[in-house]
Structure 1
């Protein structure tokens, strides 16, 4: 599977190569006119840089629930925690946890290959669980940028105390609004994914991570499927 940074750059380059500066336009911080491809390229570059950061981002979900994305460097680790489960990738293991009632069961599998990006693995697995991820949002933005019939409006706002760039997409029935912070984290997303309504909003951002973010939940039943020696 290609690294997320490469994927994001490929998406952005495709948008730039195939689009002229037409349709909805905005101004960047220097006052220059930005086209749809420029906006997508800027957001892709932010998300690309964020893959190399250490941070913890807590998101508000519908119904008062929360989810957290955490990643750290040296060593590289990443985790996505939500009410029904947890995914964590460290040097020691790839961990998948599920919650059913009052019981939590975690399965430990082999860690990723050396030089793999833990965040890429976590985001890929999270998408399979129906969770929204930064690369998923970037893909939706790129698809919209490549659609000449889509209407894309850009605006600026503040999310959890951070400056963010937002894009409002009107593309047939696939309408959504997404915001990306200046740090490159997903600020918010409201729309539909695979026909299902999705809404997440960043409620807290910290440029550091507590080590417990990558540990097993307290009291979890553990199934260790790692090869002997790990």
Structure 2
């Protein structure tokens, strides 16, 4: 969304300003940081645009497993399905579903404030189950842009028939390669996230969705915490 892009642009400007103030970096170092800032802004703008689209995307995970992202507008809502769970974000609730022991339980929490987006923490379970989401990728890119020793390389490719910009990030503890399509959809991600290997690849993209994508799993138990969560 526009707010996210603004924050990232401010962050990029602050990085460049810090170089000007300290005067310790070489011209080459300054050029590297400017390049990183430009790249973060470009990817943030793409991801922001994607938040305003209606689309569905299927992803291939290791071991033959799969995941998906569905998004619609008017009203704005999104769904993230991954092995053993599902996350839906609507105007009524942020719902986390987990399947354990043959039973699925969905916990309803308050929705994001009007005009805002879910916090990155909301996507923690999806990430743990193997689906890394666009907001998490943006956070990792931003962290890399602020790390002087990080090496970021850019390339272009095609993922599931769609042109994508890829970045190869080499930084201590979290090396990764992320590709984002021209429309702002996550095309692929391979690397370390919190010390664990993650690999996702887009294998189908559509500008249409099935409305059932936002339904909770059939027979799931419901825990409603909207009235008790501040």
| TM-score when normalising by structure 1 | 0.80
1:222 CA displacement: 2.6
Write the distance in 1 (CA, Å) between the matches of 2:133 and 2:79: 12
Q: Which has the higher helix share?
A: 2
Equivalent residue pairs, number: 215
1:48 CA displacement: 1.8
1:194 CA displacement: 1.1
1:156 CA displacement: 0.5
1:35 CA displacement: 2.9
Say if 2:139 is the partner of 1:142.
Answer: no
Q: RMSD of aligned C-alpha atoms? A: 2.8
1:134-158 per-residue CA deviation (whole Å, 9 max, x = no partner) reads 1221222222223332222111000
Distance 1:142 1:81, change over 3 A: same
| Residue number in structure 2 paired with 1:191 | 191
Say if 2:70 is the partner of 1:73.
Answer: no
Structure 2 unaligned blocks of 5 or more: 20-25
1:148-189 per-residue CA deviation (whole Å, 9 max, x = no partner) reads 322221110001111000111222443211111101111111
1:7-41 per-residue CA deviation (whole Å, 9 max, x = no partner) reads 44444444555579847x9xxxxxxxx93332222
1:174-207 per-residue CA deviation (whole Å, 9 max, x = no partner) reads 3211111101111111111111111111111111
Moved more, 108-117 or 57-66: 108-117
Say if 2:103 is the partner of 1:103.
Answer: yes
Write the distance in 1 (CA, Å) between the matches of 2:198 and 2:108: 29
Write the distance in 1 (CA, Å) between the matches of 2:50 and 2:61: 22
Write the distance in 1 (CA, Å) between the matches of 2:225 and 2:144: 41
1:1-230 paired onto structure 2 within 5 Å: 4-14=4-14, 17=17, 22=28, 35-117=35-117, 120-121=118-119, 123-129=120-126, 130=128, 131-227=131-227
Secondary structure in 1 matching 2:52: coil
Secondary structure in 2 matching 1:141: helix
1:6 CA displacement: 4.4
